[in-house]
Structure 1
Amino acid sequence: MRIKAAVLHASPIAKPYAETRPLRIETIELDPPGADEVLVKIAAAGLCHSDLSVINGDRPRQIPMVLGHEASAVVVETGAGVTDLVPGDHVVMSFLPTCGHCLPCAEGRAQLCAPGAAANGAGLLLSGAQRLHCDDGTDAYHHCGVSAFAEYAVISRRSMVKIDRDFPLVEAALFGCAVMTGVGTIVNTCGVRPGQSVAVVGLGGVGLSSVLGAVAAGAERVIALDLSRAKLDLALSLGATDAFLASDPDVVEAVRAATSGGVDHAVEMAGSAPAFELAYKITRRGGTTATAGLANPNARISLAPVHLVGEERVIRGSYMGSCVPARDIPRYIALNQRGRLPVEKLLSGTGPLDEINAAFDLLDQGKVVRHVITF
């Protein structure tokens, strides 16, 4: 079938994107679903820094590629072997397919699925197929097995979670990345307990989701740090107890003084080495510093190993919020429905696919938390 999609043909691309238009809106060919695959009509797709990092060259990927990995959709057609979905069902996409059979999946660590990671790295679906084709005869690659910046997509059944048809699809899209990663880092990776203290460095969609997760987990102190005063104010409105400008030269001393020596858990969500080092410095003795920020692969951090020993410090990486999507996405949606995870407050606005390049300028400039493309 013929579909309209935003296709990236080169990277990196100069700014502003509204002028250079790295994402070309084209009509391309989409194959029907194969075995264990599903054809969906995309309802909403969030703009994330993981998409931006492909455009700006921080995370090189195969091109041409249809970007977009945080999305909700409606099932149109199912391929052979898909027996638990029917046309009309609503689904949220996960940006890593989980095979269910490899060692990490068997251990309950679906976020580390080996075949899923290999497929994503190759720009393919879990089956190894490419279902997207440009008019010049070249195959287009899939982004994180989703490629949601398009009217329709063919996606592995292993990349989606069925949700209630009554749940708003625009808000639902955010659960596929921002919420899953941000809340998951708090409750799964760090295991935050009631009464503990948490600091979040970097207040994009994932970071603010972490703030919501820390509040929902019962953290006594939730410290927000960012370069933007507006985002600090938003974090306070979401339940953060304290806010500090990360650019303040005395910020480390200020946070440590406010928390009697540092926080129990500091999570870095900015995707930069300096942000991680800041998070590490404000973590207390015996505390945990976690990161889900995807920094440039060439970025490096400088730490004194003696502190790891003498202070029994813990450093944790968190991919996909250490989530099992089929387990955690429904849990987080249920929390939202009970008013304990007000994800809708993260929405900065919506817009059509034709305006996606200008929307990425806003994301790059830190002027939006989550802008969502709607279809």
Structure 2
Amino acid sequence: MTLKSKAAVLRATGLPAPYAKSQPLQIEDVFLDPPKPTDVVVKVTGAGLCHSDLSVINADRAAPVPMVMGHEGAGEVVEVGSAVTDVKVGDPVVFQFSVSCGRCRTCLGGRPQICEAAPAARAAGELISGGSRIKDADGNTIRHMVGVSCFAEYAVVNRGSVVVIDKSIALTDAALFGCAVMTGVGAVVNAAHAAVGDRMAVFGLGGVGLCGVMGAKAAGADTIIAIDLEQAKLDKALALGATHAINARDPDLVEKVKDLTHGGVDYSVELAGAIPAMEAAYAITARGGRIVTAGLSPIGAKFAFEHGDLVTNEKSICGCYMGGCVPVRDIPRFLKMYQSGQLPVDQLIDGYIGLDEINEGFDKLATGGALRQILAPHGIG
């Protein structure tokens, strides 16, 4: 049976800020098709407002519209398709935004986050099993955001887009593990391979970057240098485990980092999605070090470096999608770290909002007035 759901629909990208005035996200009644054999239906409990959403709204990243937005969230399964046997009604789940086919070369190689089949579905705004499950009030097709679309009361997703979690964890907190935690912590532990005693720098201290700081501390890094443009975020990074904080506008940034680390960091983790951050990350990395980037710059942005320097100093540059995570492995692992106090992710949550406040929420995110706001489509409590 078709399911009616309120949702935040993006019908045009690039509308001017403030979004409270231009209203890029329209709250509409949409209609969800019944689940196909490999689908599940999830009642969304919480969804994080993320810069990746903002980059679609402001047209930094391309996406097919109209689209129900949202990719980071958690909820409860309310229906499953006929072929789904390992997820049941009532299971608490976290969404993950890079569904995989399980059969391509990268999936079989243990890297499902860069599944070869996923990009085509993502670009079309469809589920990996084909097509959209969302229609508007006039019967027109609405697209899915990365196969999730959790800025809504309910979402129909492929079974591979959810990870079942422990029932003891608050779903409004667990929502952050679908993107911010996987991307930030994953970049540090899976791509940088941070270890006890390492010297690290983290560029960009939004929700993802602060998760990177927490991941570096949990891994035992000796020096953790937090770098951002905003003092409030630098202060937050120090509270969450950074040993030093430097404003990205400081003209002596490179020299200060090299002085602190006796020549440079072992790993620079760029989570700002900005070319100046990449350039600084490369400059402060010591001989033999690695630059890991999980930030997404606007389409067409290019990063340049001196080839000879890369070779003679044996540096490496590593792109990192979704923190290099295998979601079914890493989301439960990171949740256990949260429960033990190693990843105090709840400290990133600024507040909870309803669907009717979502445009104002993106104004706060765009101006640096919030780290992670949690959309609660059904209310809190």
Q: How many angstroms apart in 1 are the aligned matches of 2:258 and 2:365?
A: 31
Q: How many angstroms apart in 2 are the aligned matches of 1:189 and 1:301?
A: 19
Q: How many angstroms apart in 2 are the aligned matches of 1:87 and 1:211?
A: 36
Once the 2 structures are TM-superposed, how far is the Cα of residue 55 of structure 1 from its aligned partner? 0.5
Once the 2 structures are TM-superposed, how far is the Cα of residue 302 of structure 1 from its aligned partner? 2.3
Letter in 1 for 2:25: L
Q: Deviations over 1:288-320 (max 9, x none)?
A: 001000001211122111111110000000000
Once the 2 structures are TM-superposed, how far is the Cα of residue 269 of structure 1 from its aligned partner? 0.6
Once the 2 structures are TM-superposed, how far is the Cα of residue 350 of structure 1 from its aligned partner? 1.0
Alignment of 1:268-279 (within 5 A): 268-279=270-281
Of residues 320, 331, 334, the one that matches 2:322 is 320
Query: What's the counterpart of residue 232 of structure 1?
Result: 234
Query: What's the counterpart of residue 171 of structure 1?
Result: 173
Alignment of 1:37-116 (within 5 A): 37-116=39-118
Once the 2 structures are TM-superposed, how far is the Cα of residue 237 of structure 1 from its aligned partner? 0.3
Q: Deviations over 1:108-141 (max 9, x none)?
A: 1011111122211211001112000112332000
- Coordinate RMSD, CA, aligned: 0.8
Alignment of 1:1-375 (within 5 A): 1-375=3-377
Q: How many angstroms apart in 2 are the aligned matches of 1:370 and 1:278?
A: 26
Letter in 2 for 1:79: G
Q: Deviations over 1:221-260 (max 9, x none)?
A: 0000000000000000001000000011111111111111
Q: How many angstroms apart in 1 are the aligned matches of 2:154 and 2:144?
A: 13
Counting aligned pairs with the same residue, the percent is 53
Relative to the length of structure 2, the TM-score reads: 0.97
Q: How many angstroms apart in 2 are the aligned matches of 1:374 and 1:107?
A: 37
Which 10-residue stretch deviates more, 181-190 or 112-121? 112-121
What's the secondary structure of 2:117's corresponding residue? helix
Letter in 2 for 1:357: N
Letter in 1 for 2:80: T
Q: How many angstroms apart in 2 are the aligned matches of 1:117 and 1:89?
A: 28
Letter in 2 for 1:257: D
Relative to the length of structure 1, the TM-score reads: 0.99
Q: Deviations over 1:65-92 (max 9, x none)?
A: 0010000010000001111111111000
Q: How many angstroms apart in 1 are the aligned matches of 2:34 and 2:101?
A: 21
Letter in 2 for 1:127: S
Q: Deviations over 1:5-60 (max 9, x none)?
A: 00000011111000110000001111111011001100000011110000000001
Letter in 1 for 2:276: P
Q: Which runs of 5+ in 2 are unaligned?
A: none
What's the secondary structure of 1:126's corresponding residue? coil
What's the secondary structure of 1:358's corresponding residue? helix
What's the secondary structure of 1:4's corresponding residue? strand
Q: How many angstroms apart in 2 are the aligned matches of 1:247 and 1:86?
A: 51
Q: How many angstroms apart in 1 are the aligned matches of 2:166 and 2:292?
A: 32
Q: Deviations over 1:131-163 (max 9, x none)?
A: 001123320000010000000000000111000
Q: How many angstroms apart in 2 are the aligned matches of 1:346 and 1:3?
A: 28
Letter in 1 for 2:99: P
The number of aligned residues is: 375
Once the 2 structures are TM-superposed, how far is the Cα of residue 99 of structure 1 from its aligned partner? 1.5
Which 10-residue stretch deviates more, 152-161 or 97-106? 97-106
Letter in 2 for 1:119: A
Q: How many angstroms apart in 1 are the aligned matches of 2:88 and 2:185?
A: 29
Letter in 2 for 1:42: V
Q: How many angstroms apart in 2 are the aligned matches of 1:117 and 1:370?
A: 26
Q: How many angstroms apart in 1 are the aligned matches of 2:108 and 2:228?
A: 38
Letter in 1 for 2:371: V
Structure 1 residue ranges (4+ consecutive) displaced by more than 3 angstroms after TM superposition: none
Q: Deviations over 1:242-284 (max 9, x none)?
A: 0000011111111111111110000111111111111111111
Q: How many angstroms apart in 2 are the aligned matches of 1:98 and 1:299?
A: 27
Q: How many angstroms apart in 2 are the aligned matches of 1:50 and 1:338?
A: 28
